Amino acid sequence: MPVVAKKFKAAHPALTTFRFSHRGAKDYAGLLQHYRSAFKMPQPVVVRLTGFSPRSVAKWSEGVLPSPKQEKALVEMDRLLDSLARVMKPAQVGHWLKSPNPAFDGSTPLQLVERGELDRIWRMLFELESGQPG
């Protein structure tokens, strides 16, 4: 059965352009494959980071276009991955996201994301990159 890509009314040209070519991907299926290989992030981690259903993420892997809201979540996740890759090896990111962290009171970074506390991760990244004491 062929996969039919959903079309969304684009209010802005950026929504009609694939925004992740810097990852070496040509489409969302390639982007998700890149995340799995470069960041060692299995699909369940992508599901948790984006906050969308496993079914939605599976559809992106099959070539279905994300909605504008879903694409925004992918852009935010991509920015986070870029920042994390500046302070650790990209291949360590997936493991780090799932590991309890004393800086987060024993929570995993994924748990912070799911609770809407992404600002704590961004603050940690700022402190690491700027040399500011935490």
> What pLDDT sits at residue 129?
87
For the stretch 18-77, pLDDT in tens is 778 877 888 888 889 999 999 999 999 999 999 999 999 999 999 899 999 999 999 899
Task: Kindly list the domain boundaries of the chain, sorted by start residue.
Answer: 25-130
Cα separation, 73 vs 71, in Å, equals 5
> What pLDDT sits at residue 13?
45
> What pLDDT sits at residue 2?
56
Beta carbons within 8 Å of 38's beta carbon, 6+ residues apart: 23, 90, 91
Contact 28, 67 (CB under 8 A): no
> What pLDDT sits at residue 119?
96
DSSP string, 47-64: HHHHT--HHHHHHHHTTP
Q: What is the mean pLDDT of residues 84-90?
A: 95
